[in-house]
Amino acid sequence: MGWQEVSIVSSRNEFVTLASQEGANIAELCRRFGISRTTGYKWLDRFAAGGEEPLTDHSRRPHSSPGRTAEAVEAAVIAVRGEHPTWGARKIREVMIRRKHKAVPAVSTIAGILARHGLINPEQSAARKPFIRFEHEAPNRLWQMDFKGHFALAEIPARCHPLTVIDDHSRFSLDLGACADERGETVQTRLSAAFRRYGMPERMTMDNGSPWGNSGGEHTLTAFGIWLIRIGIKVSHSRPGHPQTQGKCERFNGTLKLEVLRDHAWRDYAHAQAGFDRWRDVYNLERPHEGIGMAVPSDRYRMSARPFPETLPEIVYPPGTIVRRVSHGRLKHASRKFRVPKALHGMPVALRPTTTDGLLDVQFIHQVVAQIDLREPAE
């Protein structure tokens, strides 16, 4: 599939940004973006030369000249704020530097300009103080995933469920989908497209809600989690009642609400998706992020070298492994039955001893999904 019409600018801009990074595999990028190498190099050449047809809606030419006056610099600050009404002084200064303004005021000066023009909300400023979070040391070590609270659409009797997927290290948005529901099949379709473009992460973390968890049950493994494990991704869940485990997704969702959802009425799914695509482009490629030293996410993101398998790999365990097949949430071993996640129905699992006598790990492919205790009384 080539460029999708609704997001041509976004796709081109994202392609040239990722392809311009040191060590980028241009041929693989062209394949994942669904374009020929000729087209890919054409856009790289236009980007490098500042060609006649811009890649984004906003020109990348310098926004200032040596003769600019102080009033003009102040006007430039207000102009950036007009483009992004929720951005503060630090982000505005970083954008002006990236746009190669000749005279870029200090953060305090920009804050003063915004204050004089009545553009600072003290309550919002206090609420958005940076919070230091743990982050993984490289892209694609961990992706976080969540659904933002759903909202009504204006012209059809339905609700939109925004799906958000974030790279932990870079804060790069891998997907922002205007979904009609929160079913596992819907998420799997969106994620498959993201995996084909960006490659696969080592691990994904989610909360305990549907479709990837079971907050009311003993086991959090679902059919969706089974699929992730089968294609080679480790699955983890946040602790119930501890949303900070999903902190980067929570922060992204808050920014999405403030900058996109709060002041817009979306007609239908296509209208919402078009708006999401435009904002995601700004978020990934233009918006400085305080949590990563005022870099933009695309500065720190690199595509994964792990390709998405179009067919599910065969489940194979090493010779000599104790293997049992799960039936309706039970497995048989040592003439006894033990409870395991129901989502594993029909699947072969391996039993591996732990350091505690009588306690066995139940492993599905690469992931421990349960334990059985031979020391407990039989059911």
pLDDT reported for residue 186: 96
Single out the residue of 97, 9, 102 nearest to residue 58, CA to CA. 9
Q: Which long-range contacts (CB under 8 A, 24 or more apart) does 28-37 make?
A: 28/303, 29/303, 32/196, 32/197, 32/198, 32/199, 32/303, 33/3, 33/197, 34/1, 34/2, 34/3, 35/2, 35/3
Bridge partners (DSSP) of residue 359 are 373
Asked if residue 201 lies in contact with residue 140, where contact means CB atoms within 8 angstroms, the answer is: yes
Asked if residue 44 lies in contact with residue 36, where contact means CB atoms within 8 angstroms, the answer is: no
Mean pLDDT computed over 39-56? 71
Express each pLDDT in 167-207 by its tens digit. 999 999 999 999 999 999 999 999 999 999 999 999 999 98
Give CA–CA dist 202/167, Å, rounded: 11
Express each pLDDT in 82-113 by its tens digit. 777 777 777 888 777 778 777 787 877 877 78
Mean pLDDT computed over 145-151? 91
Q: Element (H or E) spanning 18, and its range?
A: helix 8-19
Single out the residue of 180, 217, 246 nearest to residue 342, CA to CA. 217
Residues 329, 331, 332, 337, CA torsion sign:
negative
CATH of segment(s) 143-300? 3.30.420.10
pLDDT reported for residue 225: 93
Please state, in angstroms and as integers, the Cα–Cα distance from residue 18 to each residue in 24, 28, 278, 360, 361, following that order: 7, 11, 17, 45, 41
Give CA–CA dist 236/241, Å, rounded: 15
Q: What is the DSSP letter of 132?
A: -
Asked if residue 167 lies in contact with residue 289, where contact means CB atoms within 8 angstroms, the answer is: no
Strands 159-167 and 151-152, by their bridges, are antiparallel
Domain 5-49: which CATH number of 1.20.1730, 1.20.1070, 1.10.10, 1.10.357: 1.10.10
> What residue spans define the domains of the chain?
5-49, 70-127, 143-300, 322-373
User: Of 240 and 315, which is predicted with more confidence?
Assistant: 315
Give CA–CA dist 219/205, Å, rounded: 15
Query: The tokens of 137 are what?
Result: 């040391």
What stretches of 234-347 adopt beta strand conformation (E)?
A: 234-237, 322-325, 330-333, 336-339
Within a 10 A sphere around the Cβ of 324, how many other Cβ atoms? 18
| pLDDT over 90 percentage in the chain | 47
Buried-state track 95-113, b at ≥16 Cβ within 10 A, e below 16: bbeebebeebbeeeebbbb
